[in-house]
Each structure stands twice: as structure tokens, then as C-alpha cells.
A and B are shown apart, each in its own frame.
Chain A
């Protein structure tokens, strides 16, 4: 963490706080979907719960951004008082770790759309494995479980990866990111 600037940390934590609120807002939506489709309903929109790690990593571009931001978001969700408790922090960490793994593979150098989507998929896979053990997916039939996994991976790639990138790019256009890695890259592209 020593090569992090303090303002990067505060900005990351603010992003986490914003998305903690978004995450909470999506819980009831998930519940409605579950009502319609069964447990797979959550997986349709599961990507939304990975989005902060992709956004933070894409903007700040330092090792740890994906993992820490998702962890903080989970903590804030717990503090806000409407979540599954301490275990949610653990699942947040695991999701963050999934995204972080994808960035680690590129040695935190490459932040193209593909890598961002891969990070979303990474979170999906990690969180699924964890959920399999914790939430007792085992009690469900195998075809159904594999359906859940595939749905969640697609959702991770699209909602977290693609949407996260689009949001960050929109933000970069406003110029408020000028002292962060993404803003600098954006400026270079513009002047080039």
C-alpha cells in the first residue's frame, strides 16, 4: 500500500461507499428475480455486485484496488445494517480476489475491455465456488447448478466488465479523474 497516494485511497473508499448503497438497492431486485426464476434469478444480475472492483481497478490501476474496494463495499454494506452479516465481508473479499486475480495475470498492466470482462468472470467463478460451499447449492440438481454458474459468468462479464468500463469512461470524460491513471490515459488519447 505504500505506493498508493492517500487521495487514491479516499477516492477508492468513496467509490466503495457509493456502490455499497447500489448493492443494497439491487438486493430487492434480486429477490424479485428469485421469486420468478428460483435461485438463478440472483445470477442474472450478479455482475452488479462485482462492479466496484472493476471500476476502482480500472481508474486507479494499482495492485489491490479490486480486492480492497470490494472488501470495503461489503463492510459498508454490513455497517448500513442490511446484509448477511460478517459472512458478507468474506464473500466480498472472495469476489474482490476473483477480479484481482484477472488483473494479476496481466501484472496489473493491461486494462483493456477483455481484461475487465475477464475480471468480472473471475469474480463470478470465485464467488460461485464459495457460494457452492456456503449456501448449500449442493442441495440443487447438477444441471441447474451449472446453469447458475454460466449465467453468473455472463452477468459478471457484461454487467461488471462492460458496464463498469462504460461508467468509468463516462466519468473520465468529465475531467474529474485527471490526477488518476485512467484520467491521464484519457488525456493522452485526446491530445494524440
Chain B
């Protein structure tokens, strides 16, 4: 699947560029069309589990919807208060509505782009690519990788701590102060054991000759191929193309003055 094989750094760069471009556009149609395109591309070019995708995407729908109504409700006084449209029985200034819709679709299109990246990128490849292409210091990059490995361990540990505290009768917090104490006594064992493990990991890595220096060989070379650049160009062209179409139909609007 070609999305999985792209260079992670170029993929990230592409997405950052697209997000910046989307930030400059302020009409609802362009981001909406681009979002559709991104979702289709994700499923064509990536090996993605439908259920997983929805699970990730739904929270964004909620955010977008929240944004939609709050922007309408707390909007500045519109320039043309007389142009209204009717929404579920309420009259809403058209301008506010369009602005809100533009913001909501922007959130969704950015979310679709991020999911495209997250679901098709291997974390280790990404970090290796950061070291090999963006010259990120191996000291930090491998430190992050070591920390990232802790995630599943911490999940298990949290579950254990929770039941361990229950056995101590530590679940009858009633007042706010007791609740705060409870959270604190929850986080401290977790953090303490994570810190201790982190120290051990650091020692083990240094014992294997890791110095954090830039000179090192790589077992896995992450490559940059013409198809990476092709992907970058195609994505940007399609956004420009979509913007042109909505321009033709008179929907397109730059981001200006809404500050």
C-alpha cells in the first residue's frame, strides 16, 4: 500500500503544508471537498481498518459540531444582520453560519489529514527518518523512542495500582480535598516507577555503547524516492484544484479580516 511506503518525513511535511494552506482558506466548500478526497485516498492507498478509522474520526465530528454551534452562539455582531437562514427553528445570521461551517470543515479536513498520517506511519520509521533526514539529535530521538515503549507498560501498571488502592479502601473520597489526595496518590506510584524504569533503560542503553553522538550506522535506512515528492506535489495540486473549482462556482474565500 503506497501510503505506508512513503517517507515519513516527506509525508509529515506534505501534511503540514496542506494544513497551512487550509488555514488560509475560509469557505466551507473547499475544506469539505478536500476532506472527502483525503478520506477516499486514505482508504485507497492505505491498509486501514474501517472500525478503527471511525473510532478515531468520531471525536472530531463531536469537536466540529461543538465548534459549529458555539461559533454561531458567541459570534461577533455580523456585518449584514438581515441576511438570515433558519436552523431548527432559530433564525441565524447567514454570515455567522457560513463562518461556523468553514471552521468546522477546516477541523474535519485537518483531522482527516492527520489520520492519514497516523494510521499509515510506523513510529520507529518516523523517528529514524527524523534522525536521518531532518538531522534531529539521536540523543533526543532515541530518548523519545525509549519513552514511547513505556506506553503499554504504563497502561497495565495503572490498572494494577487502581485495584491495589481499592484493596486499601482508597475509594471513599468524598470531599474535594480527599479526591485530590486520591489522584495524587494515584499518580505518584505510577510516575515514580516510570522514572525508576526510565533511569534503568537509560543505563542499559548507555551500556550498549550509546553515546547520543551523530556518528552511527543504521540497520534500517529510510529512503527518499521520487514517489515521495510526487505525493507531495499531487496533494498540493489537488488542494489548489479544489480551491479553483470552488472559485469558479463562486464559493471560494480567502482568510482575511476575520481576525
Contacts and interface: CB of A to CB of B under 8 A. Distances in A.
A–B direct contact (CB < 8 Å)? yes
Interface of A: 1, 4-7, 9-18, 21, 27-28, 31, 34-35, 38-39, 68, 72, 75-76, 78-87, 132-136, 138-141, 144, 166-167, 170-171, 174, 176-177, 179
A38 B73 contact: yes
B195 A6 contact: no
Return the 4 tightest CB-CB contacts between A and B, nearest first: A85-B114, A13-B147, A7-B202, A9-B143
Interface in B106-127: 107, 110-111, 113-115, 117-119, 123
Given A7-B202, A21-B151, A72 B258 contact: no
A94 B97 CA distance: 30
B219 interface: no
B241 interface: no
Contacts of A4: 139
Contacts of A85: 15, 19, 110-111, 113-115, 117
Contacts of B254: none
Contact of A12 (B12, B62, B103, B143): B143
B154 A21 contact: yes
A17 B147 contact: yes
The secondary structure that dominates the B interface is helix
Contacts of B15: 85-86
Nearest to B257: A138
A71 B62 CA distance: 25
B188 A167 contact: yes
A7 B198 contact: yes
Contacts of A80: 151
15 contacts: A4-B139, A10-B199, A10-B201, A10-B205, A14-B150, A27-B59, A31-B63, A38-B70, A80-B151, A135-B103, A138-B258, A139-B96, A139-B103, A141-B74, A167-B188
B164 interface: no
Contacts of B150: 14, 17-18
B178 interface: no
B134 interface: no
Contacts of B203: 7
A135 B199 CA distance: 39
B160 interface: no
B247 interface: no
Contacts of A27: 59
B63 to A, nearest CB: 7
Interface of B: 12, 15-16, 19, 23, 56, 59, 62-63, 66, 70-71, 73-77, 96, 99, 103, 107, 110-111, 113-115, 117-119, 123, 137, 139-140, 143-144, 146-148, 150-151, 154, 184, 187-188, 190-192, 194-199, 201-203, 205-206, 210, 212, 258-259
B70 A83 contact: no
A120 to B, nearest CB: 18
A189 B117 CA distance: 49
Given A14-B150, A17-B148, A85-B15, A136 B71 contact: yes
B195 A176 contact: yes
B195 A79 contact: no
Nearest to B205: A6
Contacts of A176: 192, 195-196
A144 B74 CA distance: 8
A132 B259 CA distance: 8
Contacts of B59: 27-28, 82
A32 to B, nearest CB: 10
Contacts of B96: 139
B144 A134 contact: no
Given A11-B195, A34-B70, A86-B16, A139 B75 contact: yes
Nearest to B119: A81
Contacts of B114: 78, 83-86
Contact of A87 (B19, B70, B190): B19
